[in-house]
Structure formats: structure tokens, C-alpha cells
Amino acid sequence: KKPVHIVWDADAAEKGGYEHFMLKEMYEQPKAIADTFSPRIKDGQIVIEELGMNDEEIRAVSKIVIVACGSAYHAGMTGKYVLEGMARIPVEVDLASEFRYRDPILAEGTLVIVVSQSGETADSLAALREAKKKGCKVLGIVNVVGSSIAREADKVMYTWAGPEISVATTKAYSAQLAAFYLLALRFAEAKKSISAEEYQELTDSLLKLPQQIEEILKDRGCIQRFANRYLAAEHIFFIGRGIDYAISLEGSLKLKEISYIHSEAYAAGELKHGTISLIEDGTLVVALATQEQLYPKMVSNIAEVKTRGAFVMALTNENNKDMEQTADYVIKVPKTNRFFANSLAIIPLQLFAYYVSLGR
Ligand code: F6R
């Protein structure tokens, strides 16, 4: 056997004064993202050597299929919006447990991306094998170095989040988002689907994310106070549109996973097709509204749930000054490029899930 040196240090697996690993790992998110970016952003250029693809090979990719489970699947959903939006390439996202059993049609030119923190999730590994059997090239976005998915994928792009001890993922999820942003920018550059100015602006926005997350984490007191009002809640809904829908799914999963409160996430435009009848007097609805072009639509969705008596906590960016007139409680995150809004919006949602659970 050839010895391999793993760079994780033992301190990373200690609580280091935090009450729980989950809290510690939430606080490690700025570093996890910065570490995922830093080896791949050189002098303002995105360089993903491990992808092993030149511009021509990237242009030959006709479709991307992202396969994963749980939160990694939610990161893949954000990946879809970002890759399609920036690189104009069609992207499908599939749950690994579905993909592996449905004899998927994978045409030539399809790149399959398997996303996994542990690199050991059985369904994701089986999906990887299925894709390889069908002749596709597989890229793994993996956190654990040398794990099964990392070893079996054709190429692996590591998320440098360090060991994640908490079962509820936070920093590995954030690092997965970071990996998708890098990929989307690299594909967009090769396909010339964005201008040089946009590329520059997007790369600058990426580099600001760790600092912006730090700022949100500093303000955790207001989220804790708000969470304490909802310890007895029985149902909590999350709504959002576009990329905000992907983050609604992750916010809802985080909450139900650790607090055991029933929660659902809905694409805001889909609410009226049945689900709205579940919203009663005082039901908490968390409304995500970070996307400028969808903002008026979200305002009307908030009005809809309020007519049914919902208490609405809106999460938006600091530019939207008028949200206070629509929602009952407003949490603001700094402004970033619309494609990267999920990285900031998820922080208050993780804190909310954590403090509700702690209180209960
Ligand atoms: C939720 C969570 C799970 C994992 C899922 C996939 O907080 O941690 O939903 O995201 O089990 O695990 P990995 O990424 O290890 O394949």
C-alpha cells in the first residue's frame, strides 16, 4: 500500500469551545468557501486543473446531469440554475436513489456530476457506476479525500470544507455551492456565454462571499430571538422562486431534520395549486426573496399567504427597503450577484433551524 497524507488536522474534529459541532461548522463556512476558491482562482481567472478539460472539450459537453442525495441534491439544484444561467448549458438534476433504478437515457456528450460530502453514500455511488456503465464521463464533487466516489469518478473536484462531524450538513453544503459557482464560471468562459466584464464582476463577487457570510454570522442574536418564538410550531413552510426555491428546500430540510417540526418547501408559484389550504392563522411562512427579477412575484405570493393568516418572515437583500411593508418580520442579507444569493441566504436559515432545535 502507498501511504497518502491527508491534510486535515486533528483539531478540526474537536468542538473547540462550541456547544455543538453543527454550530462550529456553521462558523467554519467562510473558511470552507475560501479554501474551495483559493486554489482555483488565480489572478482573477478560474482554473480548475482537476477537471482536465480544455475549452474545446468543455464546449463539446451538450448536457450535464447532476446526481446526489439530500442536501447535496439541493446544492445540485442551485448548480442547475447557475450552470444554465451562466453557461447556457442544459442541466438535469436527479436524486441518486431514482436515477440508479430508472435506466436513464444518457446521450453522448453528457457529463454526469455526482455530489457527495462523504463520498460514500450508497445510492450516489451506484448512480456513478450506472453513469460510467453507460459510457459517460463522471465528475465527482466530493469532500472526503480518497472516498469511494472520489476514487471511482473519472475526475474529482474536492470541496475543501474539512471534516464534517455534524450529521446535518452546513459547511460541506456551502462548499458544494462554491464548487458549482467555479464550474459555471469556467464553463461560461469556455463557451463565451458571458462577457469579459461579467466574468470579472462575477469573480469579484465570489471572492467577497466569505466576508459577507462572516457578517451574517455575527448577527446571529436576532435570529435566535426570532427562533425562540417558534419553539411550539407544528408546521413551517418555506417558499421561493427560481434559485430561492432551491434554498427553500435546503432551509426546510435543515429545520425538520434537527427540530422534528413538520416543514415543507414550495415553489412560491405552486402554492395555490393545493398547498395554500394548509396555511392557517399564525402559520409561519419563511419567504425567500433575493432575486430582483422575481421580487414583485414574491411580494404577491406573500400577500396571498397573509390573507390566509400566515405570519411571514421574509429573507431578502439589503437593497429591498420596502419588504417591511409586506412581511411581518424581515431578515436582510448583504447584496451579492443574483447567482450567488443562496450562499448568503442559507446562513440565517441554518441558524434558525439550529436555534429552534436548541430551544426545543
Ligand atoms: C442533510 C444531510 C443529508 C446528506 C445526504 C447526502 O443535512 O446531511 O441530506 O446531504 O445524506 O450525503 P453525502 O453528501 O455524504 O452523499
Q: Cα separations (Å) of 39 from 55, 60, 121, 190, 342?
A: 19, 25, 26, 19, 22
Long-range CB contact pairs, 192-200, < 8 A, 24+:
193/86, 193/87, 193/88, 194/86, 200/44
Q: Cα separations (Å) of 53 from 56, 70, 140, 181?
A: 8, 28, 14, 17
Query: Does residue 257's CB lie within 6 angstroms of at least one atom of ligand 1?
Result: yes
What's the 117 CA to ligand 1 centre distance in angstroms?
A: 7
Residue that has been written with the C-alpha cell 451506484 in this structure: 126
What's the 128 CA to ligand 1 centre distance in angstroms?
A: 16
State the average pLDDT over residues 314-338: 94
Note the helical H segments in 282-332.
Answer: 295-307
Q: What is the pTM of this model?
A: 0.96
What pLDDT does 275 receive? Answer: 84
Note the helical H segments in the chain.
Answer: 21-27, 29-37, 55-59, 70-87, 96-99, 122-133, 148-152, 171-191, 196-218, 220-228, 243-259, 295-307, 341-359
* Residue 11 in this model has a pLDDT that exceeds 90: no
Residue 238 grid coordinates: 418555506
Query: Does residue 29's CB lie within 6 angstroms of at least one atom of ligand 1?
Result: no
List, for residues 171-216, the tens digit of each pLDDT value: 999 999 999 999 999 999 999 999 999 999 999 999 999 999 999 9
Indicate the residue type of 321: K
List, for residues 97-120, the tens digit of each pLDDT value: 999 999 999 999 999 999 999 999
Closest among 334, 338, 300 to 30, alpha carbons compared: 334
- E strand or H helix that includes residue 240: strand 235-240
Query: Does residue 117's CB lie within 6 angstroms of at least one atom of ligand 1?
Result: yes
Of 117, 128, 260, best ligand 1 pocket probe by most atoms within 8 Å of the beta carbon? 117
Give the residue, by CA position, lying nearest to ligand 1 atom 11: 70
CA-124 nearest atom, ligand 1? 16
| Residue 325 burial (CB count, 10 A) | 8
> Could you give the CA distance from residue 33 to residue 36 in angstroms, rounded to a whole number?
5
* Residue 9 in this model has a pLDDT that exceeds 80: no
Query: Does residue 184's CB lie within 6 angstroms of at least one atom of ligand 1?
Result: no
Confidence of residue 61 (pLDDT cuts 50, 70, 90): very high
Burial of 95 (0-12, 13-18, 19+ CB in 10 A): middle
State the average pLDDT over residues 291-310: 96
Is 119 in contact with 144 (CB distance < 8 Å)? yes
List, for residues 256-290, the tens digit of each pLDDT value: 999 999 999 999 999 989 889 999 999 999 999 99
* Residue 16 in this model has a pLDDT that exceeds 80: yes
State the average pLDDT over residues 71-80: 98
Indicate the residue type of 183: L
Which residues are 238's β-sheet partners? 265, 286
> Could you give the CA distance from residue 188 to residue 318 in angstroms, rounded to a whole number?
28
Look at the chain and count its residues: 360
Query: Does residue 71's CB lie within 6 angstroms of at least one atom of ligand 1?
Result: yes
Query: Does residue 148's CB lie within 6 angstroms of at least one atom of ligand 1?
Result: no
- Phi, psi for 48 (deg, rounded to 5): -115, 80
> Could you give the CA distance from residue 76 to residue 27 in angstroms, rounded to a whole number?
23
